[in-house]
Amino acid sequence: MRRDMLPWNLLGIVVALGAWEIGGRMLGDGLLAPPSSVLAAFPALLRDGMAEALGTAMLQMLVGYACALLVGIPLGVLMGRSRMADRLLHPWLSMLLVTSTAALVPLFILIFGTGMAFCGALVFMASAFYIMLTAYQGARGIDRRLMAVARSFGATRMQAFRMVLLPGLFPYLVTGARVGLVHAIRAMVMAQMFVMVGFGGLIAQSGFDASTAGLLALLVTIMLVSLALNRALDATGHRLAPWYRASKAGH
């Protein structure tokens, strides 16, 4: 976040919260609880085990997300650098990318049950192909002549990968990881809502309450967690590769 934009960002948040408070008081807690009511709902949610449910959900999400990174990045790079791999895998990538994750829930329940394996598998399916597509586009965008020049100066394949391909790929890999993370968190919540367990189960149950304060408090919580994890990935990109910041500024 640029520092010169921070006051405007804060102003936008204050205006939105003010409008929400006014609208919530006019509509009532049954339709749209105001921020003051949402804030007051947090102690009861914490007593009901919200923190423990969120921790378990994040663990399940991270398992599926880590598998998505381990599979999606290498396959995406391979597709981008190999015509044969592109021809073999691209049809599957195109089909699975547009497949609704929610449509897979009944099948995954039959295969994996309703425990951690089910949630992790659904998270993997929701995020792996976005990560794969971004890595693929990044690998395709790197001029093959750059690799040829590195090899002509005596660089081994590994040295050319480390000094030419990886620096060019890195912004795409971080972007793919961030996009995949968003889909992973959504899939985690959806999976738990389907089977009425964990944090997603709390959201589903809150939908039956007379007041929307608890439901909105849970939604705000997952939004803040998602934002924090996304910022952490962005900061990791800056720390691991100084050229990542320059590449972002150039876009």
Task: Provide the pLDDT for residue 247.
Answer: 53
Q: For 53, list phi and psi in degrees, rounded to 5.
A: -65, -40
The pLDDT, as a whole number, for residue 241 is: 67
Q: What is the DSSP letter of 143?
A: -
Q: What's the rounded Cα separation, in Å, for the pair 103 and 105?
A: 6
CATH of domain 59-249: 1.10.3720.10
Q: Is the distance from CB of 60 to CB of 126 less than 8 angstroms?
A: no
CA–CA separation, 248 and 172 (whole Å)? 10
- What is the pTM for the complete model shown? 0.84
Instruction: Give SS3 for 210.
Output: coil
Each domain of the chain, given as residue ranges in start order, spans 59-249
Tens digit of pLDDT per residue, the chain (251 long)? 566 677 888 888 899 989 999 999 999 888 899 999 999 999 999 998 899 999 999 998 999 999 999 999 999 999 988 899 999 999 999 999 888 888 899 999 999 988 889 999 999 999 999 999 999 998 887 766 666 666 666 666 666 666 677 777 888 888 899 999 999 999 999 999 988 888 998 999 888 888 899 999 999 999 999 999 998 988 887 777 665 555 555 44
Non-local CB neighbours of 5 within 8 Å, separated by 6+ positions: none
